[in-house]
Amino acid sequence: MKRLIIPLIVSLLSLNVSAFAHPLIDVVPEPNSIVYGNGSFSLSRTTSIVCPGSKDRLGAYLRDQLAFFTHLRLRIDRTQAANGNSIVLNLDKAFNGLGPEAYSLHVSRESVVLSAQTQEGLFRGLQTVLQLIPLPDSAVNGTYKIPSCTIVDYPRFAWRGLNLDCVRHFMAPAFIKRYIDLLAYYKFNVFHWHLTDDQGWRIQIEKYPRLTSVGAWRNEGNGERYGGFYTQKEIKEIVAYAASRFITVVPEIEMPGHCQASLAAYPENACVPGPFQVGTQWGVYPNIYDPAKKSTFTFLENVLSEVVRLFPSHYIHIGGDEVPKTEWEQNAGCQKLMKQMGLKNTDELQSYFIRKIQKFLESKGRQIIGWNEILEGEGPLPGAVVESWQGIDGAIKAVRNGDYTIVSPGEYTYLSRDADDLSLDSVYSFNPIPPGLTPSQQQRVLGTEASMWSEHAPQQKVDSKMFPRLLAIAEDAWTNPQNKNFDNFHQRLQVQYGRLAYLGVDYGLEQKAMTYRTEFEKDTRAFVVSLKPTQSGISLRYTIGDTLTMSDSHPYHGPVSMDTTGTFIAQAEMNGRLAGNPLVLSFMIDKALGSEVTLANPYSPEYTAGGPGGLVDGIRGTLNFKDGLWQGFKGTGLDATVDMGKEKKISELGAGFLQSTSSYIFMPEYVQFFVSKDGKNFTRVGVVKNDISERNPASIEKDFVITIKPEDVRYFRVVAKNIGVCPPWHPGAGAKAWIFTDELFAN
């Protein structure tokens, strides 16, 4: 520690005004200590890399990386100590106390000196060096200025991972290596490789060739056979490639569920008779491994024996998530096994399964990681690592049991979610240590991981979903909370965008691309839509019509007027392509626009459509019930009286509704319409019965409309009957049903 502290104190004493006007050091993740110095080091053609002793490989790595980032090819000097104009890699056994990944970096006018106790520490520090160097367009006469500073840095967590699902979509080996480099650049150290699932088996197993000849391929809706797998040779190459970047590859082999592809290849391991098809739909399949057959475990142990030979990782991920246990409940063999073993329920049968596999892997010197569901029933034996994805409860339970945990709650770390839905600042706000843990329990939090589930992320879309949010995860995992600050991170990110572009990363959005405002201008009887992008580097395009493509859209330069019924669509453009979800606003210009509405039953405070006038504002709701454009009524019907202010000749009345049964929203049973001249005496003029099946799982919009003999009326009333409660077949059977309405209209 002494050797560490002395240079720090010296630098602190030399702090002067220039420190307050220091250049931005845009390193991500933010180092845990930076002291700014004076001046800068000039990296040029004549600089040498000094790596005395046994650090040749790192010296060559640095040379190659510098050649990529600067177009300079530096000389490696393996013999001498630093004597100026050099980058020195210094393996220093005395540099200790901050963990194996710690490093210190001293940049002065004369040299760049990187010190660490281990090669791994040097490797992490090299990433900081690479990020301190400006990009080629900022070089002056082939010289790159690196700001003087002293950095002492070490990770907050030992586990900083990315879980990449290569099942739902197959990703090429070269793409995996590219991601390993990107992970290295941001100081991640774990690549969690999701290799098996219902929709595919992607790892060659020599003993069971059908796992890949059958299990790696699925029939797509368009008749195409989709798939792919990694040969053992490719896997060894990837593992070695990652190891040379101090990244551990942790394979995930799913059991006892998420195994339909495996069962398609070897149906004898299932609880029910096959044959099975490799999954072609997203979601969880009900077919699972049969623990009552000895041969199932023989199969899995043979598979895992090959897995262990391929992956030196101490930890092997065995999945364990989302196991539908109905087949175990209905299977005579499973029931008999449960009786024999004294297992009270199928949760305990799952623990029996997990523990058996855990013991097998322990016999091979390995330990299991499982998703938080492995805690169900009796849980695993001591020593398992629990990866908490359904919130943080699994993590808390694991550390209270004395076990280790990886904290990856979906609401912060699932980058497969759109940025609309999980913004950069939310990801950045994540603290992997759950509240309320004792210091020793906190020690059992290994770290965190980002997850990229690839149902909606084929290889070519992964970059735009992953970035820039992966940088926030990098900082959540590396940087101590007291050194984290979103505004500062965001400022550094603006420079990092240049680095990402240089690396060829097709990064996406930080959050929902734009905010919008709509106003109805009474004089022109037109809607005016104003848009505002939420981040730099994006422009907005819009069109009026049904689709937005580059060819039929216009650049947005200012408010757009809509004076007829129609749809306004806007989308962000970024890096030459459309990015994020489009904003779709449908406007309706009708005779009820801007009327007074009186409601017999109040709408829910959660779904107001902007208030009392929301049903006659001319803005239609979208298929997203949370878009703020719908009024929701829970358990009650809609009973609205509309006062148009004066008599108008009316020949059509209507009301719009939404059905989204997974959110307990159903179409009304029927909608009745009444008209009146005086607001007291109403005449019923029609009723429209619902014709949308309540079992239709899609989100559906429907206008209930009647035409009448043209008549002068001032008032109309709409009564929509709620079905009351969710029907018996529905998961929410008996709970109050909602009706959602967006607009009442007259023409």
The pair of three-digit structure tokens given for residue 397, joined into one six-digit string? 């339970």
Cβ-based nearer residue to ligand ACM, 321 or 694: 321
Cβ-based nearer residue to ligand ACM, 322 or 425: 322
Cβ-based nearer residue to ligand ACM, 194 or 714: 194
Q: Binding to ligand ACM by residue 411, rule CB under 6 A?
A: no
Least distance between ligand ACM and beta carbon 386 (Å): 12
| DSSP code, position 725 | B
Q: Sketch the per residue contact string, 131 through 170, with ligand ACM: x for CB under 6 A, - otherwise.
A: ----------------------------------------
Closest CA to 362 of 387, 382, 341, 376: 382
Cβ-based nearer residue to ligand ACM, 59 or 380: 380
Cβ-based nearer residue to ligand ACM, 394 or 582: 394
- Residue 335 burial (C-beta neighbours within 10 Å; 0-12, 13-18, 19+): middle
Least distance between ligand ACM and beta carbon 318 (Å): 12
Please give the size of the binding site for ligand ACM, defined by CB under 6 A: 4
Least distance between ligand ACM and beta carbon 260 (Å): 14
**Known catalytic residues?**
197, 258, 322
Beta carbons within 10 angstroms of residue 224's beta carbon: 9
| 3-class state of residue 265 by DSSP | helix
Report how far apart the first and last C-alpha atoms of the chain are (Å, whole number): 81
Per CB under 6 A, the list member of 306, 322, 378, 418 interacting with ligand ACM is 322
Cβ-based nearer residue to ligand ACM, 354 or 640: 354
Cβ-based nearer residue to ligand ACM, 450 or 574: 450
Closest CA to 320 of 279, 361, 280, 281: 361
Sign of the C-alpha dihedral, residues 391, 393, 398, 400? positive
Per CB under 6 A, the list member of 110, 237, 306, 321 interacting with ligand ACM is 321
Least distance between ligand ACM and beta carbon 329 (Å): 21
Closest CA to 594 of 520, 705, 704: 520
Cβ-based nearer residue to ligand ACM, 101 or 387: 387
Least distance between ligand ACM and beta carbon 451 (Å): 7
Q: Kind and range of the H or E element at 393?
A: helix 393-400
Cis peptide before 602, with omega less than 30 degrees from 0?
A: no
Is residue 410 within 8 Å of 390, Cβ to Cβ?
yes
For residues 339-378, which are near ligand ACM according to CB under 6 A?
A: 371
Least distance between ligand ACM and beta carbon 319 (Å): 8
Chain centroid to CA 735: how far?
Answer: 31
Cβ-based nearer residue to ligand ACM, 322 or 652: 322
Q: Kind and range of the H or E element at 70?
A: helix 56-70
For residues 89-108, which are near ligand ACM according to CB under 6 A?
A: none
Q: Pairing between strand 217-219 and 225-227? A: antiparallel
Distance CA 248, CA 237 (A): 13
| 3-class state of residue 560 by DSSP | strand
Q: Binding to ligand ACM by residue 745, rule CB under 6 A?
A: no
Closest residue to ligand ACM, Cβ-based?
321
The pair of three-digit structure tokens given for residue 328, joined into one six-digit string? 């175990």
Closest CA to 639 of 608, 668, 663, 666: 668
Least distance between ligand ACM and beta carbon 322 (Å): 5
Is residue 153 within 8 Å of 131, Cβ to Cβ?
no
Beta carbons within 10 angstroms of residue 107's beta carbon: 25
Question: Would you tell me the crossing angle of helices 119-132 and 56-70 to the nearest 10 degrees?
Answer: 20
Cis peptide before 468, with omega less than 30 degrees from 0?
A: yes
- Residue 517 burial (C-beta neighbours within 10 Å; 0-12, 13-18, 19+): exposed
Least distance between ligand ACM and beta carbon 391 (Å): 12
Q: Sketch the per residue contact string, 577 through 616, with ligand ACM: x for CB under 6 A, - otherwise.
A: ----------------------------------------
| 3-class state of residue 185 by DSSP | helix
Q: Binding to ligand ACM by residue 389, rule CB under 6 A?
A: yes
Least distance between ligand ACM and beta carbon 730 (Å): 24
The pair of three-digit structure tokens given for residue 179, joined into one six-digit string? 């991601």
Binding site for ligand ACM (CB under 6 A): 321-322, 371, 389
